Amino acid sequence: MNSNLPTACMRCGRCCTSFGVCITLFDIKRIAEGTGLKPIEFVTFTPEPPERERTEPAILLEGKYSLLILKWKPKKGRVCKFYDENSGLCSIYNSRPTLCRTYPFKLKNNRLVDVKSRACPVLWIPEEAKQYITDLETYKKELKKYKKIVDFWNSNATEKDTLEDFLRFALNKY
């Protein structure tokens, strides 16, 4: 990455207000513990899009492959439930999903690289790159475990299985 790039997120909120924030069971547990909320209060799902930049596994819910995401604020479009529009900050920052901790970066050859996000208006390189690398390594491990749980679920799911059914099953497995 170019060292002349900004060293911090602009905090524009586009990543919190433009797309669904994909989450895993590890994120759900962290958020539930950090907020005291029940998963069903902040988790929803969206149909798996034909093309996407993320690699979270799709879950068979109500007969369709879907991605778990954080709920959006009612009547606010795709604004994350936890995004504070007044301050431009995350209300669950310390418990935020790993995707939020690492966006918009990925690891390539053990180096931090930008994913050329559709949300970020500028390229930037984090001042705290070591923490991003650590979080990305954690995310990779979590996704591997999460995929095993989802694969097992999908191989046994029926068209009647709901988000609540998946959460009950998966949170008991994890």
Condensed to tens digits (0 to 9), the pLDDT of residues 85-108 reads: 888 899 999 999 999 998 888 888
* Cα–chain center distance at 47: 15
By CB neighbour count within 10 A (0-12 exposed, 13-18 middle, 19+ buried), where does 97 fall?
buried
C-alpha torsion angle, residues 110, 114, 119, 123 (rounded to 10): 140
Q: Which pLDDT value is given to residue 1? A: 47
Across 128-132, average pLDDT: 86
Q: List residues bridging with 47 in a β-sheet.
A: 66
Q: For residues 81 and 105, what is the distance between their CA atoms, to the nearest angstrom? A: 23
CA distances to 4, 65, 74, 90, 151 from 46, in Å: 38, 9, 15, 21, 18
pLDDT tens-digit readout, 1-50: 455 666 778 788 888 998 889 999 999 999 999 999 999 999 999 998 88
CA-CA distance, 6 to 140, in Å (whole number)? Answer: 26
Q: Which residues pair with 141 in a beta bridge?
A: none
Share of the chain above pLDDT 70, in %: 95
- Domain ranges for the chain, please list them: 14-154
Per-residue pLDDT at 118 exceeds 80: no
What is the pTM (predicted TM-score) of this model? 0.88
Q: Are 101 and 87 in contact (CB under 8 A)?
A: no
Q: Which residues contact 5 (CB under 8 A, 6 or more apart)?
A: 122, 123, 124, 125
Rg (CA), the chain: 16
Q: Is the pLDDT of residue 134 over 90?
A: yes
Amino acid at 89: L
pLDDT bin (cut points 50, 70, 90) of residue 172 is: confident
